[in-house]
């Protein structure tokens, strides 16, 4: 009887161990399979793959610079718009909001995170892009267009779909992630710290800006980078709204492409080994970038958790 229990214990233990190991295997497998799949393209183009702006299936000449720049640009736009808004939401939910509204508002914001990305895509394509073309783009062109330096970004005619509208949709998509991390780290700021600032006569905003924000700096950065990681890898919404152009344009109103959108649009129709292999290398680049960004965010959040643990 005891032996049987022991055997089952060992069996159960091995099952759980193998399952836990599978996570590592998957991670390694993703890396290895992407490298194997893109080997042809890595050999053919080398490092210049990253800097070449040509993407021409007809001449079998491929470079990743345009989608890399597109990915970084859309994520940057999303960050510029999304970070202040997320910060505002987190401050509102933790400091200002009446207690009864807190939970429903929290759920409403989190519902945004639940909406599948393809729904953002179809909505962006049929509703937001026309709205952007008619109402926002002409206004941007007339307001910012004449300015030196940045004016050139918005001087062209908009077709609705393009880099800037894609960035705006992306901002809405990452706000729930960033604001929920910010909310969590704002909530762990010790009450006595805030109360002492209030006792010294600080206004609510001064408490937020000079007490809460410095205290939760690490966590806030972790949340922002987590959101960025999401933005970099976002696929379906981008495939719908960015317009899928392999040309490099200075104007944000014109179509562009991201690493993920090129994959989504071209992979299943790609012919020829080199074409497929180059597409897989795009995936490899994307996976490397997002893994680095996400690891960095995780390290920040883990550091925060450790500090929090020591304090208690």
Partner 1 sequence: MRLWTLEHSRQLINVIGLGFCLVATAFVLFWLLWILSNLFYEGLRDFHFSVFLQMTPAPGEPGGLANALWGSLLLTTFAILVAIPIGVLAGTYLAEFANFSWFAAVTRFVNDVLLSAPSIVIGLFVYELYVKSVGHFSGWAGVIALAVIALPIILRTTDDILRLVPVNLREASAALGAPQWMTITHIVFRVAKRGIITGILLAIARISGETAPLLFTALNNQFFSSDLNQPIANLPNTIFKFAMSPYADWQRLAWQGSFLITLWVLYCNIVVRLFFKSSGVIR
Q: How far is the CB of 66 from partner 1 (least distance, A)?
A: 18
**DSSP letter assigned to residue 256:** B
Choose between 116 and 190: whose C-beta lies nearer to partner 1.
Answer: 116
Choose between 110 and 308: whose C-beta lies nearer to partner 1.
Answer: 110
Choose between 48 and 295: whose C-beta lies nearer to partner 1.
Answer: 295
Q: How far is the CB of 295 from partner 1 (least distance, A)?
A: 6
Choose between 154 and 182: whose C-beta lies nearer to partner 1.
Answer: 182
User: Which residues, 6+ apart, have CB-to-CB distance to 151 below 8 Å?
Assistant: 144, 145
Q: How far is the CB of 153 from partner 1 (least distance, A)?
A: 23
Choose between 232 and 254: whose C-beta lies nearer to partner 1.
Answer: 232
Neighbouring-strand partners of residue 256: 243
The token pair at 8 is: 């089952």
The token pair at 300 is: 């920040």
**3-state SS class at 156:** coil
Q: How far is the CB of 240 from partner 1 (least distance, A)?
A: 7
Q: How far is the CB of 116 from partner 1 (least distance, A)?
A: 3
Pairing of strands 55-56, 61-62: antiparallel
Q: How far is the CB of 155 from partner 1 (least distance, A)?
A: 27
Catalogue the E-assigned strands of the chain. Answer: 55-56, 61-62
Q: How far is the CB of 154 from partner 1 (least distance, A)?
A: 21
Among candidate residues 260, 43, 300, the one with its CA nearest the CA of residue 166: 260
Choose between 6 and 60: whose C-beta lies nearer to partner 1.
Answer: 6
Among candidate residues 292, 262, 240, 203, the one with its CA nearest the CA of residue 126: 240
Choose between 169 and 252: whose C-beta lies nearer to partner 1.
Answer: 169
* 149/162 Cα distance (integer angstroms): 20
**DSSP letter assigned to residue 201:** T
Q: How far is the CB of 18 from partner 1 (least distance, A)?
A: 8
Choose between 19 and 59: whose C-beta lies nearer to partner 1.
Answer: 19
Q: How far is the CB of 306 from partner 1 (least distance, A)?
A: 11
3-state class percentages of the chain: helix first, strand second, coil last, to nearest 5: 80, 5, 20
Q: Centre a 10 Å sphere on the Cβ of residue 137 and count the other Cβ atoms it contains.
A: 22
Choose between 11 and 143: whose C-beta lies nearer to partner 1.
Answer: 11
* 235/77 Cα distance (integer angstroms): 16
Q: Is 60 left (phi over 0), alpha (psi -120 to 50) or beta?
A: left
* 165/173 Cα distance (integer angstroms): 12
Q: Centre a 10 Å sphere on the Cβ of residue 216 and count the other Cβ atoms it contains.
A: 22
């Amino acid at each position: 009887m005891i032996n049987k229990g022991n055997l089952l214990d060992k069996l159960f233990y091995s099952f759980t161990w193998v399952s836990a190991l599978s996570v590592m295997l998957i991670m390694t497998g993703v890396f290895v399979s992407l490298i194997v799949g893109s080997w042809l393209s890595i050999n053919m183009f080398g490092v210049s793959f990253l800097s070449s702006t040509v993407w021409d299936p007809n001449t079998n000449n491929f470079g990743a610079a345009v989608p890399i720049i597109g990915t970084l640009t859309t994520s940057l736009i999303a960050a510029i718009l999304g970070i202040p808004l997320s910060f505002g939401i987190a401050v509102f939910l933790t400091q200002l909001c009446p207690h009864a509204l807190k939970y429903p508002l929290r759920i409403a914001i989190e519902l945004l995170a639940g909406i599948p990305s393809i729904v953002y895509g179809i909505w962006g394509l049929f509703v937001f892009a026309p709205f952007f073309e008619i109402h926002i783009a002409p206004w941007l062109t007339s307001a910012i267009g004449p300015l030196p330096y940045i004016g050139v970004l918005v001087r062209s005619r908009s077709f609705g779909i393009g880099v800037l509208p894609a960035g705006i949709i992306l901002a809405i998509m990452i706000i729930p992630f960033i604001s929920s991390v910010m909310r969590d780290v704002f909530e762990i700021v010790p009450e006595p710290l805030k109360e002492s600032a209030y006792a010294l006569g600080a206004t609510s905003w001064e408490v937020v800006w000079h007490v809460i924000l410095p205290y939760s700096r690490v966590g806030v950065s972790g949340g922002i980078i987590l959101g960025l990681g999401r933005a970099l890898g976002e696929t379906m919404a981008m495939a719908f709204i960015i317009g899928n152009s392999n040309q490099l344009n200075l104007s944000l109103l014109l179509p562009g492409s991201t690493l993920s959108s090129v994959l989504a649009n071209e992979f299943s129709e790609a012919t020829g080994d080199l074409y497929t292999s180059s597409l897989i290398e795009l995936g490899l680049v994307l996976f490397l970038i997002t893994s680095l960004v996400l690891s960095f965010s995780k390290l920040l959040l883990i550091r925060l958790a450790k500090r929090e643990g020591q304090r208690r």
